[in-house]
Structure formats: C-alpha cells, structure tokens
Structure 1
Amino acid sequence: MMKRIPYNDDWLFAPLGSIFESAGDQNKQRVTLPHDAMLAGGRSKDGSDGSSVGYFSSGAWQYKKSFEVPEQWADKRVVFEFEGVYRDAMVYINGAYAGQHSYGYSRFYIPANPYLDYGQTNTITVECRAHRDSRWYSGAGMIRPVNLLVGDLVHITAVGPRVTPSVCGGDGTVEVDTDVVNDSVTTRTVTLETSILSADGKVCNTERTKATILAGETAGVHQRLYVADPALWDVEHPNLYRLEAKVLEEDAALDEASAEFGFRTLELDPRHGLRINAQPVKLRGACVHPDSGILGAATFDAAEERRVRLLKAAGFNAIRSSHNPLSRAMLEAADRVGMLVMDETFDMWHYSKNADDYSGRFEANWRQDTDAMVVRDYNHPSVILYSVGNEILESGDRFGARQARLLADEVRSLDSTRFVTSAINGAMAARDELMRIVAQSGSEKQGFNAILSTDDATNELMGRPEVGAVIEETAGALDVVGLNYGELRYQKDHKTHPNRIFVGSETFPSKIDRLWALVSELPYVLGDFTWTGWDYLGETGLGNPKYPGEEAPFAAPYPALTGNCGDIDIIGVRQPISYYREIVFGLRKAPYIAVEDPAHAENPAVPQGWSWSDAKASWNWDIAENTPVTVEVYADADEVALVLNGEEKARASVGEERNYMAKAVIPYLPGTLSAISYRNGEKVGETQLKTTGKPAEVRLSAFAPEHRELADDIKLVEISVLDADGQVCQDADLHISVSVFDGTLQGLGAGRSVTEESFLADSCTTYEGRALAAVRPGEGDCRIAVSAPGVPEATLDLS
C-alpha cells in the first residue's frame, strides 16, 4: 500500500552560511514543520528588507533530518512530497543532489530511491533562500508540510485520481482518470477498483477496470461511474463525496488513493453572469495573502480552516489567493465550509517587481508551476476561477499579451471545466503613458501606489482611453477580465466588447457601497474582491487612516508591522469596515455603531483608497464628560436615532455623506448608547454599545475545527479580557504571559498594526482586549495558562 507518512517532526534548522562557516548539528535548532525561517529571524529597523516585508530580513537557511530506511524499501517506490518551500529549494539526500524547485508556493516531488542507503540511517537536507523577492511578507523556509510517500512499484501517481463530476437530468456522472505506474521490470496486469462514497460513508457505486501495463510504463485508466440524484455542492450546501481507488493484483491490494469532490455546474454569460447549479451567484470576494498573522507564512490546517470560517461568517462567499496558489489546507477548508476560490499563479512574469523575484525563474518554470496548481486544484469544487497573474507589468504590450494567451491555453489544456482570468491593473499596463500624465500634474513624487490610493486619481487614470487600448489583447485571451481598481472600465468596455465578462479582482474597501451597486446592477460583472479580507504582514500602513492635510506615506516606518487594511485583523477580529460591508451586501439587518477617535475631532479621517475611518466600536473614551464625539452608524435604513442612557440625543438620515451610513455628534457620557434604525417610520433594527468596567477575568476559547482529522493540528486559542459583566474591555491592554504544559507555544500576538513584540515570545500585550495563541499539543494532557496583572490566571485543557 502507498503510505503517506507526515515528515514534519525533528528537523535541524540553521541559517545557511558558506562551506567555511558550516556549523555542526549540535548548534542547530530543532524545529517541527511547517516552519517560517524569516519569522524566526526577527525584525529590525535597520538591515531589514524594509516596509514591504514588515521589516523582516532576507536570508538563506538549511533544514536537515535523519531517518531510518528499512531494507524492504529497496522494493518500494519512495518519494518526498513538499507542499511548499519558500524559495529556490535545493534538496540533497545523503549528501547527493536529488532535485530542486524554484517557486515557493507550488507542490513538488523528489524521488528518493536512487540516493537511499537501505537498512541504514539516511539524511535529507533542504536549502532555501529568499532575497528581496516579494512585495509583501512572504516568509521563508519549509512553510508547508512535507510527506514521505512509500508504496509498491506498481502504484497510482502521487497526484492521485482526477475526478470530473457532471449533472444532467438530476443524475450524476463521474469520470475518473487515474494514472497507474509500473516501475517493476515485468509486465503487470492489475485491476483498478474505484468506489464513490457519500458524506455518510455509504457506497454509491463501484467500478472495476483491468489494465495491462508494460515495465516502465504508465497506464491512464479511464472510468465512468453514476450516482443517482446526487446532493449538489454550493456555498450554502457544501456537499462532498469521496472517491476511493485501489490497485489490485489477484485481489491483493498494491496501492490505494482517495479524493474528495463535489457535484456542481458552472455557467457563464454576459446576460446572466455566473450561475452555479443554474442559480445566479454574485461573488462577495476577499483577497487574502499567504501569511497567517502570528504564525507567519507557516501553513497549518486548523489555522486555514479558521480563516475561511471567519471570512464566511463576515459575509464573504469567495476568496482570491493573492498572489500565489492557495495552500492545500485552505482549499480543503473552502470545500468543506462552502467558499468559492479564485486561485492565482504569479505576481510577475518576465518583468521584475523586486530585486531577485520569480521573474528570473519564470521562463524556465512557468509551465510546470501552472500545471502543479491546476493538477492539484482539479478535484476541488470550491475552485471556479484560475488567475494567471496579478498586475503583470507587460500585460500592456503584445508580447505580454502573447504570454497571457500561452498561460490561459495551458490552463485550459489541463482543465476545461473552470474559467480563466487575470488581475489586470490598467494603470500599470499603461504606466509609461500615464506617468507622463501624472508628471504634468506635479504629483509623480508620491509614487504610483500612493497616487492610485485616491479616488480622483484612480478615476482619472483608469478611465482613460490609453488604458482600454493597451489591455485589449490581454483581455481577449481571458474568459473573465479581472480588473484591479478599474471599475470605470466595466461599462466603457462593455459598449465596445458586449461579450466581455468582468470581475473586480482587487478593489478599494472604501468604495464598497458604489462597487457593490455596480456589481448588483451589471449582470456581466461577476463580483468584487476587496483588498483585503484579512490583514497581513508587510506593506506596512497601507490602510492607515488618512487625515486631511496630513501626509500619509504609502509605507509606514518601523515598527509598523501590518498593512492595516483588512476587514478582519491578523488574529481574526472583525473591524468596523467588515460590518459596514455586511450591511452593503444585504446580509445584516441590525445597525452597527462605531465612534470616531475624539483626538482627531477637528480633522477627522476620511475613508479613502485602502483606508476606512478611525472609528471603533467602543463607548470607553478617556475624555471629559459631555465632550462632543462623532458617531457613525451603519444601517440599511432611512434614518437612525441615537439614544444615550435612555434619552434620544440625535437623529440622522442615512446616506447624506455616504450610502448606508449616518453620522451624528452627541455628548460623551459613560453608559449605554443605542442606535435604532427606521425605514418608512417603522423600526427595523437596534444595537447597543456599553461602557465596560475594569478587567475582571481573562477568558480562553479554543477554535474547534469541524474536520475530525484536524484534531491533532495546532490549537488556536482566543484570549479575551472581560469585565465583570462579560464584556470585552477594548480599552484595557494588559500584558499577558502564557505557559503551555505538554505542548509548544507556536505563536502569540495581538492585532496591533504597530508593535515591536515578537510572535515567538511567551508574552504580549493585548490589543483592544484581545490576543491569540497557537499551541502544538504534545502526546499527553496539553494545557494552556494565561496570567495578567490584577486578574485571576486562566487555564484551558487542549487535549
């Protein structure tokens, strides 16, 4: 039988020096994968790679592991499976070069047999490097899991069966293509037995097919199975089936493989937009970066599922992987939870955006890395769009357009069941011409991103005819034209290209009311993907509040850590913009209250580009009583009333300054502030903010993944500082200390966008009353304890 053995424990890790600087194993750190080497290196004001990567540093690193190879493996096929090594991985087995892989986000395989010493202790060494190669925090090292595959010489290829389900007349057809390899020296006749199981484990159908395979040959076995009245997969009903395949020889099992899949249909046209199972769907999309906050770029199943679940709870039904293929763990979570996916290949092709980025490896590797993504994604019903690039600089010339066509054709040759897009930034594609226009305005010193962060500049640049002209050929190679910050082109380009279908592949959060109106109105616009759904490390200060008359640099100085532009912060806490968006989407009936920072009352922040206002959902302010404060109320209503301690203080119309928002100035008094929303004079919703008391306890709550196989993964523990009434003390930032018994503290931190605290420390300061800990349980009774000055110690059993 092919065994997939997790190979994540007991690796030796160290920075990689020259051969004259190499240290003995005794000086190396023992780590468990996944592991982020860049996170381990810490941050600094000087000598780092700057704001784009959150002031972390480049480097080169080495991982080494010893393992026993039994004598009987000499008659087996042994392969290492790497889910992702960032970047330029070099793999050595027993000191011999065994293979390499340039891209940091795609799965790859290293055959081990030629280099193994059977019956002895063997070593595998992985070297990787990251040098100023990313526009965001990429992390580095063995950031995704590793598996050792051991199986018979006659076996199913490591990528497993390819499953193509379809539905017609209420019945399901499943076409299965399975490659069976004969690595033995004789011809073998085997039987491939394939079964389909429903979610409750019942066998729906089984097919057995014989195949004679010559020595050294790979046989592609095609099978068709039928399922009566299958349960369909969609975002509200993510029904999954399981396929199990066995290779049998005279009824003896040689190998087996499995895959999960879902029955669903996809249709696309400019009159109806996107339809899933014949029902129209608009994409309420979130762009997400690869890091997981306090875990850095290290990818854990439970953390990825938690991200998907929290994004869906916030109203999103789609995510875009920005700007690289999603992890296997997040794809599987999207399948289970019911989240649609736009999976993206690259942030650059031949033109570089950084000193040593993937562009130098693109020409030699683009086909294999594109194939790796599509082959891996094929069975996932959540994946509906493949994006072949993000803001590609050469997409505005004919040679770049040719490359777009080559990429799109490569994807279609592997998967004709999904649609191909690319996230085009028209201003970047036409940058030479547009920068001449910008120079004439005297604003070129701001930098291109800073210019595009203002509505007026974006509207001026994106709407120009030069943009439409330069993206013409690239857009023609796609099934869906993705536009970054280019919503002005929807109607302009539809007039000249009525068959063209669009998606807002990246958009400003501050414009979601107007953007969603366009999405709702125009059937040929599939949806909107905000930048970003979840905050991320690097691009520091991108979403910081913008105050009139104050210079707001695109890159905030050290110790700024995050982009500060997510609907959800890096530990999973929803921000006011998230609730505003939920109301715009029509998913929330109750109003939402947020209070603008009184410290900026004379010069309030204005939502612009990637930033929202500085408002917080708090009624705790360190100001004198009766000080005027500005209250924002988000509501799908005509007007709202603000009631403070039982007395109405103000009424305001919704939409005077911004759609779905009312503003009013009222005096600050501790107590209870209520917002009551009205439509046509009738009350339609109410919500409250209460002044909280002093911290009385720390409450711990562990995220519980629904998938039972994730039970042994890390535990995400939410830490909340509460008052005596059980309310979160948003104004109480306590310094907490964390102890873990029979386990390892993998990460600890809060959602603060500016900090010098390390996620690898055992203490941190809560932010607005919250923090998050990640724990790897040991083999016994794992427990976490959290202490803070003035409150009782809190403990939680994690076993």
Structure 2
Amino acid sequence: MTLLPRSLTTIAFGVAVLCGAAHAADMPARERASFDADWRFAKGDPAGSAAQLDDAKLSDPATAIPAAQPGFDDAAWRKLDLPHDWGIEGPFKQEYPGETGKLPWWGVGWYRKHFTLPAADAGRRLYLDIDGAMSHAAVWINGHYVGGWPYGYASWRVDLTPYAKPGGDNVVAIRLDNPPHSSRWYPGGGIYRNVWLVKTAPVHVAQYGTYVTTPQVSKDAATVSIQTTVESDGQAAQVQVATEIYALDAAGKRSGAPVAHQAASASAKVVADRQAQLTQTLTVPKPHLWSIASPQRYVAVTTVTDNGKVTDVVETPFGIRTATFDPARGFLLNGQRVPLNGVCMHHDLGALGTAINVRALERQLEVLREMGTNAIRTSHNPPAPELLDLADRMGFVVLDEAFDMWHEAKTPNDYHLSFDAWHEKDLRAQIRRDRNHPSVIAWSTGNEIPEQGRPEGWKLAAHLAEIARGEDRTRPVTSAYNHTESGYNGFQNVVDLFGYNYKPGEYGKVHASAPYLPIFGSETASTISSRGEYFFPVSDDKAKGAANFQVSSYDLTAPPWATSPDVEFKGQDDNPFVAGEFVWTGFDYLGEPTPYNDDATNLLNFTDPAQQQRAAQELATLKKIAMPSRSSYFGIVDLAGFKKDRFYLYQARWRPDLPMAHLLPHWNWPERVRQVTPVHLYTSGDEAELFLNGKSLGRKKRGPRDYRLRWDDVVYQPGTLKAVVYKHGKRWAEDTVATTGQAAKLVVSADRTKLTADGHDLAFVTVAIADKDGRQVPRSHDRIAFKLSGPGEIVATDNGDATNLEPFQSHERNAYNGLALAIVKTRAGEGGKVTLTASADGLEGAQVTLDSVAH
C-alpha cells in the first residue's frame, strides 16, 4: 500500500461520459475562470484518510476517503488563496537533510474548495485545469475520485463533469504527497501554480487542441497552418471550423480588422466520445515577424460549429517567425544569426518561494534583459505557462526542458520512480501545451542524465526524441550532456541539436567529428560568488576564494566541473559555430549551496594565516551540521534580485554597443592600507586607464581573448578609484568607486510606484545603507525594520545573503553588504496610497509611497 498513487492512470486526454442531454446550441460560450480563491488547507492526513489511499482502491466508488467527502468538517483548516507554497513558510532548520534550502517542502497536504455551480451549467463539460502541483496529486469532487498527476512540474486536467452538481453546492478536494529526498534543489510544496475552472459545450476544442505552424514565411506573405482537434462528448457531431487571424498589440489585445480569414473548413464527423482533426491554411500578407527586438504576435480565433450552430470559440496567440540552428552559423532567427545570450533558471522566486507570481517573473526578466540576456533555459523541468507568455511578449527565446532524470535516480524518491509509467504522458502534455509559443525554439528531453554512460543509453534518448518530434516537427530536440563521451558515443546522433554542459574545450572536437551537428553550451560557467564579498589574496585557482560560508566576488571561483566566465567566452570565440550559451544561473535559487554542500576542504586553500585559521574554524563547524546555507551562489543576480559583479562582466560581452564600465572591489578597506588589493574592470570598451586619488596606475588594452582588465598590483590607500575607458581610441565610459563615510541614513527606492489593486501585483523595494552623502556603505549590516500603512502588505523581506536563515516573512532584516529588500503586495479591490517605512537604530529612516489603483 502507498500513501498516494505513484502511477495514476486518469490523464488529461481522457473523455468522460456526458451527464445531461442539453443540445450544443443551448450551451453558453466557453468559460475559463480562475479557481484560485477561497481554499482550505491542512498539512498531513486527517484521521482515517491515509489508510485507504492505495492504487487499487482510489477508483473504486465504494472507497470513501474521509477528507475528500463533501461533508467533511474543514472549518478549522487554514483559509488561503492559490498559488501556495507551504515550504517557503518555514521554518528554516539546520538539521533538514539534503541540499534543498533548509525549508520543510516535503510531506502531505490537503486542499479543499467549496463552490456553487449555476443551474445553467447542466449539460456542459466541466474541467479542472491545474498548471502545477507539487506533487503526486489526487483529485476528488463531491467524494468521487476523478484523477490526478504525479509530476509536480506538469500542467494537467481532470474532468469534473460526471460528479459535479450544477445548481448545487460542490466540494473539490486535492491531496498532495511530496516525498522527501525527491529533489536536488528546492522544489516547493503545494498547489504552487494557478488553477482554472473550464466550462465548454459537449462539442468543443480539446485541451491544447489548436496547433499553429508557419511553414512558409517571407516578407511578402506567411502561410499559417492551423490544426484543430475537436472532441464531442456523449453525442455524434458534424463539425466545421472557421478561423480569423488578428494582430495583437503590446498589451495582447486585438488590433484592427482580421489580417486573414477562412470561413469554414471541410465538414468532419466526430463520433461520440471521440476526436477529429481539421486543418486550415491561411495567408497573412506582409507579416510582422516575431523577434527578440520586436516581439509581434498574432491570435487565431477558431470557431467550431456543429451542423451550422456555434459550439465553441478558442483564441490561440502565436508568432510568425523562422527559427533554425545551423551547424556553421549557430542560431538563426528570421534568417539572421542571433547569439544565444542565455541563462538557466530554476522555478523558485526567491523569498516568495515557488508560488507563481507574474510580476515577480517579469521583474526577473527585466533585470536579465538589462544584462543582455535574450534566452532562458527552463532547468530542469517544464516552466509555468506564465513564463512563456512573458517571453512571447517581452522578446526572449526559450529552451523548454522536460526532465532532470530518466530511469536512473539522482535522489532516492525523484522522477525515476514515475518515468516508466509517465514519461510519454508528461512529454506529450508539455509539448502540446507549449508548442504555439513563438519564444520556444527547442525541446530538451533531459539534463545530465546518468544513462549517458550506459552502452544502450542512446536508445532511450532516441525514444524520447521521437515522442517530441511526433508532437512538433518545427523545433529541434536536444539534451544537456555533461559527459565528454556523449559527443562521440551515439548520443550525438539522436538529437537535432547538441548541448554540452561545461565543455568549452570540446566544442571544436565534436564539430570536427560531426560537422553536420549544431552545437551550443547548454549549461556553462557555474562560477560562484557572494554579492559584495572579496577575499585575499586573489587567485586564479578556481578552487580558492571561499571562506566564512561566502565566496569571493572576483568571479574566479568555481566548482571542479566548472569554469570562470572567461574560459567559456574563449571556448565560444575560438569556435564561432557555437550557437551560444545558457549560464548556470541567471538568479540565485533556493537549495544547492555549492561549495558548502560537501566537506568544504576548499576553505583551507588560503595562504593568509588569519584567513586560514578562520577557515579551519568554519570547517570544524561545518562538519557538525549538514550545511549552513539556504541558497545557491551560482547566480549572476542574488536571491533578492540585486546584481553581483558578474552581471557587468556578462553585460560587457552581451551588450558590446552599450557604453559601460564596472570596477571592483569596493574601496572600503581600512585593514588593508599599504597592502596589495587587485582591481578588475568589466567594460565594453577596449582600453582603460586606472587612477587612484588622481594618480594614473597605468593604461591597459584588452587582448583578443581578454574579457576583463586587471591591475593586480594596486596598493590600497583610501580615497577614489576611477577608470576611464576608451573604444577605438575615443572616450567611451567611466566608473568610480570611493571610500565612503560611516553609515548615516537609509535610502529607499521601489522598482515601480504605480500598482494594480488586484491582490497579486508587487513592488520590490530596495533599502540601501548610505553615508551622509548618499553613497552606499558596502560592508554595512545594520538591522532594518519595515512598517506598512495603507491597502497592502509586506509579503517577504530578503537581503541576498545565502547564509541568512531568518524567515522570509519577517518584517525585520539585516542589510547584507549595504542592501536589503522588502516585497509589498496590493490588496484586491482596495486602491489607495501604500507607504513603506524603513528604520534602523542610529540611522536616518526613509519611506516610499506607492499608488495602488483599483479597476
């Protein structure tokens, strides 16, 4: 017996028998409404609910699970709205095992929702669409089990129709069972993505039932092919589809008259409880192509009729563009080479956990775009649908990834237990959901899977690739390989696009052996650093530079398998056929705090006696506890969304036309007077002169494989450090760092001051510790207290410090190297002024006022 089915067989593509006999013409239009509000939640199984939860009994109508029954008393359960991540609520505990953030994400959780259906819904099909639930979900309505899905990252549907009660009260119950030791990073726990109630007539477009492709594209015209899958529940139908195509404006609204129209397809008979596919081909004249620079979109409006009567209308946004990979030229978008300036991103939103929030996602993408990022890899799982919607609208391309493992485990209870029964359902569902997004440019079937080292492993890779091609032949299939031999042992022959993890020295070798194969860096660098931390002496040995559970921000430190950014840049520049890279990672994420997830012997690599002694003490402490840190050090941006120095190294490369310069380290080193303190400069220029207190320390010119300029022999003295940068002999940019005064005041700024009063919109408010002249004091850690007045709430605070185990919900937070963050959320329907005040002992306080607007 298991506590939850691990091999559920009720899947999203099934069709239940129709309840009710209303004619299709009497049905109201399709509705898709948020089902997120007003749930009841409890951790653990209520008395009597666990004993009957085995696979054999779930589908038996005689099995009555107490917590799933409509009369079950849930009055004492917690009231909340979805999305919800129970793990992020904490508490943090050092003794939690594994590398998954020191937060309690595992266990059983129940969600129940009471709702009334209108009597007019009689005869309609009623579906519950769940964008993601972590994990092993089982769903009941009115006490009847209707299905579920084990993979926590999948989007899926259950049919409520047979047991729903139009005109009466209904109860949906959902049980999740998140096993311990089932993830390598923080997965979250709960219904952490959105839930929707979908209502249709019996004759309707199936879930993910429109598939739009653009087989021919030119500046004069684009051919648009639309394949529509229609299903008819409980009755035979004679169906046709008609389609109109509209341009969409920047807000996603239809713009003007249709740009293409086809009145009706050929008629097709749909047998009761079956599906039929109908295809139409339309021509869009003078199309506006979707691109990174100009993400123009269209929408196909599909109308289904049964014997001439309208039964369904579905809108499908899409883009017109060509996207190909060439073995010699790399990635081509609309025929033009576009280097993939990409980052890998896990799905958590830092202090908000894994509960999806569109504004939080949008903010991440805005920060990444400023750096020059144009591509996202969804490591290592299907993303939230909202990420792809944002990528479509904002102009990012996406590598859409399915799995972190196949048959062979990485952790004892991970997806390998579900792979045999579910991999095909999961992969098909993912591709059907995502294949209309113009941002998606490739499907990845796996990441660093252990089968790479098996003689017959390539056969499983080929099997997955064929599943993907069976759903979509317009995009290549790839995997992310971390074994050198995967470029030569057969794995390279079963993918359309070869991804290497951390192998810049192998690009040329694989290309020479398989010149027909496009190649890219599927995971690169894995440089580690802590924002604002600098350790001495500075070494190019990547094993050095870590102490005090932090990592130096000279951006030279990396785990054994990884490299500095400079090494990867050289690998690509030496092999210009490489399509680009996806850096590990864009933002820090919860879990996997390398290098503090092993015996941390690298802490003893210092030559300075004082640092060596301190490192030895830290190592002794580390051996007594599992791991002190909550989050990774890999991010180019820290967990709070503050830029690390590395941000500017990538910006210099990815935005070469942007005049920019960034000096490091900061210049507050009273203990280092007359000691060598190396200075690095990241810049898009090609030459620079460094000045200390007005005296030139030399002018340096960038060589052909130099990605930073270095003055390694600077002797520290307080004052002002200034770099003047040139490009092609002309003054280009400059940057200054200066020794600051003592901390004197707080400086507060919000990423946005006008918000929507919808209960979801967020403002990210940064607090800086500054001296009397307003300069950020880089080594300050003052305690900051936050207070809010007006129609909003402080939902989280953070500071980007990977070792900070204070609850994210705390309204107090120490600054970390001069910065702290408060996240403010609006209240639904309550407009007005929202004022956030920050205070700290001995410092001048500050506040910011936000305008929350109700619509």
Which TM bucket (shorter chain)? 0.7 to 0.9
Task: Choose which of 80, 88, 92 in structure 2 pairs with 1:43.
Answer: 92
Query: Which whole-Å deviations, capped at 9, do the CAs of 1:470-498 have from their partners, x for residues lacking one?
Result: x5222210011111112222222222222
- Is this contact kept in 1: 2:753–2:850, CA < 8 A? no
Aligned 1:400-411 pairs, distance under 5 A: 400-411=457-468
Task: Find out whether 1:84 has 2:141 as its counterpart.
Answer: no
Change (3 A) 1:576 1:622: same
Aligned to 2:507: 490
Question: Aligned letter for 2:123?
Answer: D
Aligned to 1:472: 489
* Cross-structure match for 1:27: 76
Secondary structure, counterpart of 2:408 in structure 1:
coil
- Partners of 1:786 and 1:315 lie apart in 2 by 33
The correspondence for 1:75, drawn from 123, 137, 140, is 123
Equivalent residues of 1:182, 1:188 under 8 A apart = no
Structure 1 residues 350 and 68: CA distance shift in structure 2, 3 A: same
What TM-score, normalized to structure 2?
A: 0.80
SS of 2:315's equivalent? strand
Q: Does 1:787 align with 2:809?
A: no
Match in the other structure for 2:300: 243
The reply on whether 1:737 has 2:786 as its aligned counterpart is yes
Residues 682-697 of structure 1 correspond to what in structure 2 (within 5 A)? 683-692=731-740, 694-697=743-746
Equivalent residue for 2:233?
183
Q: Relative to structure 1, is the Cα distance of residues 542 and 308 closer, same or farther in structure 2, using a 3 angstrom cutoff?
A: farther
For the pair 1:352 / 2:422, whether they are aligned, the reply is no
The aligned runs of 1:590-605 (5 Å cut-off) are 590-595=660-665
Q: Is the 8 A contact 1:731 1:769 kept in 2?
A: no
Correspondence 1:539 to 2:608: no
Q: 1:600 corresponds to which residue? A: none
Residue in structure 1 matching 2:581, options 510, 517, 528: 528
SS of 1:757's partner is: coil
Q: Deviations over 1:603-623 (max 9, x none)?
A: xxxxxxxxxxxxxxx334454
Q: Do structure 1's residue 714 and structure 2's residue 714 form an aligned pair? A: no
Please state how far the C-alpha of 1:24 moved relative to its aligned partner. Answer: 4.8
Distance 2:564 2:682 in 1: 14
Query: CA 1:546/1:505 → structure 2, altered by over 3 Å: closer, same or farther?
Result: farther
Find the counterpart in structure 2 of residue 234 from structure 1: 291
Partners of 1:784 and 1:798 within 8 A in 2: no
Q: 1:97 to 1:226 in 2, by over 3 A?
A: same
Q: 1:96 to 1:383 in 2, by over 3 A?
A: same
Q: Are residues 1:576 and 2:649 paired? A: no
C-alpha distance 585-242 of structure 1, shift in aligned 2 (>3 A): same
Residue in structure 1 matched with residue 524 of structure 2 by the alignment: 507
Q: Could you list the per-position Cα deviations for residues 479-530 of structure 1 after superposition, in whole angstroms to 9, with x for gaps in the alignment?
A: 1111111222222222222222221111224432232233234243211111
2:530 is matched with which residue?
Answer: none
Candidates 111, 132, 145, aligned match of 2:194? 145
CA–CA separation in structure 2 for the residues paired with 1:4 and 1:704: 31
CA contact (8 A) 1:535 1:569 kept: yes
Cα distance in 2 for residues equivalent to 1:315 and 1:221? 42
Aligned to 1:442: none
Aligned mates of 1:275, 1:62 — CA distance in 2:
47
1:170 is displaced (CA, Å) by 2.7
**Does 2:711 correspond to 1:663?**
yes
CA distance in 2, matches of 1:331, 1:787: 35
- Cα distance change on mapping 1:11 and 1:170 into 2, 3 Å: same
> Are the aligned partners of 1:55 and 1:538 in contact in 2 as well (CA < 8 Å)?
no
Alpha-carbon distance between aligned partners in 2 of 1:179 and 1:12, rounded to the nearest angstrom? 36
Kept in 2: contact 1:81–1:148 (CA 8 A):
yes
- Asked if structure 2 preserves the Cα contact closer than 8 Å seen for 1:301 and 1:329, the reply is yes
Give the Cα–Cα distance (whole angstroms) in 2 for the partners of residues 582 and 765 of structure 1. 29
Name the count of aligned residue pairs. 734
Q: Spell out, residue by residue over 1:737-769, the C-alpha distance to the aligned partner (whole angstroms, 9 max, x if none).
A: 243643344332221111121112333233332
Q: Are 2:793 and 1:759 equivalent residues in the alignment?
A: no
Mean Cα deviation higher: 229-238 or 760-769: 760-769
Q: Helix, strand or coil for the counterpart of 2:630?
A: coil
Aligned equivalent of 1:285: 342
Contact conserved, 1:695 with 1:729, CA < 8 A, in 2? no
Shift of 1:661: 2.6
Which secondary structure does the structure 1 equivalent of 2:183 belong to?
Answer: coil
**Residue in 1 that maps onto 2:32:** 4
User: Structure 2: how far apart are the matches of 1:473 and 1:704?
Assistant: 55
Match for 1:787: what amino acid? A
C-alpha separation in 2, matches of 1:702 and 1:754: 25
Q: In terms of mean alpha carbon deviation, does 75-84 or 620-629 score higher?
A: 620-629
CA spacing shift, 1:762–1:499, aligned 2, 3 Å: same
Counterpart-to-counterpart distance in 2, 1:192 and 1:757? 57
| AA at the equivalent of 1:489 | E
Aligned residue identity for 2:409: S
> Which of 457, 464, 478 is matched with 1:421 structurally?
478
Q: Is the 8 A contact 1:302 1:715 kept in 2?
A: yes
Q: Residue by residue, what CA displacement relative to the aligned partner does 1:759-787 show, whole Å, maximum 9, x if unpaired?
A: 12333233332314141432112524233
Instruction: Give structure 1 stretches of 5+ with no counterpart.
Output: 427-461, 596-617
Cα distance change of structure 1 residues 754 and 546 upon mapping to structure 2, 3 Å threshold: same
The answer to whether the 8 Å contact 1:52/1:538 transfers is yes
In structure 2, C-alpha distance between the alignment counterparts of 1:395 and 1:656, rounded to whole Å: 36
- SS of corresponding position for 1:498: coil
Distance 1:542 1:244, change over 3 A: farther
Deviations 1:12-54 (A, max 9, x none): 11112353487952332211111112212422112x2333444
Residues 38 and 57, structure 1, Cα contact 8 Å, conserved in 2: yes
Match of 1:324 in 2: 381
Percent of counterpart pairs with the same letter? 29
User: In structure 1, what is the Cα distance between the partners aligned to 2:296 and 2:705?
Assistant: 43
With over 3 angstroms needed to count, the CA separation of the structure-2 counterparts of 1:241 and 1:756, relative to structure 1, is: same
Letter in 1 for 2:261: T
- Alignment CA distance shift 1:774-1:108 (3 Å): farther
Contact 1:50-1:56 within 8 A present in 2 as well:
no
Match in the other structure for 1:773: 823
Report whether the alignment pairs 1:797 with 2:851. Answer: yes
Distance 1:308 1:189, change over 3 A: same
Matched position secondary structure for 2:572: helix
Partners of 1:15 and 1:120 lie apart in 2 by 28
Please give the secondary structure, in 2, of the residue aligned with 1:312.
helix
Match of 1:585 in 2: 654
Residue in structure 1 matched with residue 61 of structure 2 by the alignment: none
* Cα distance in structure 1, aligned partners of 2:752 and 2:386: 16
Change (3 A) 1:557 1:730: farther
Q: Determine the C-alpha separation between the residues in 1 that align with 2:680 and 2:146.
A: 60
Which of 60, 77, 95 is the aligned partner of 2:143?
A: 95
More displaced 10-residue stretch of structure 1: 214-223 or 499-508: 214-223
Task: Please report how far the alpha carbon of residue 691 of structure 1 lies from its aligned counterpart in structure 2 after TM superposition.
Answer: 4.2
Supply the AA of the counterpart residue of 1:264: R
- Structure 1 residue 795 displacement after superposition: 3.2
Larger deviation, residues 59-68 vs 659-668: 659-668
1:551-570 deviations in whole A, cap 9, x for unaligned?
89899954411111111111
Q: 1:80-479, aligned counterparts within 5 Å?
A: 80-130=128-178, 131-165=180-214, 166-168=216-218, 170-185=220-235, 187-199=237-249, 201-202=255-256, 203-210=258-265, 211-214=267-270, 215-248=272-305, 253-426=310-483, 462=484, 467=485, 472-479=489-496
Does structure 2 conserve the Cα–Cα contact (< 8 Å) formed by 1:198 and 1:204? no
Instruction: Output the amino acid matched with 2:691.
Output: V
- Secondary structure, counterpart of 1:472 in structure 2: coil
Q: Which moved more, 1:90-99 or 1:269-278?
A: 269-278
Q: Secondary structure at the match of 1:14?
A: strand
Deviation at 1:703, TM superposition (A): 4.2
Q: Is contact 1:722–1:769 with CA below 8 Å preserved after alignment?
A: yes
> Which whole-Å CA distance do the structure 2 matches of 1:762 and 1:116 have between them?
43
> Could you tell me how far apart the structure 2 residues matched to 1:10 and 1:329 are?
22
Matched-pair contact (CA < 8 Å) for 2:128–2:159: yes
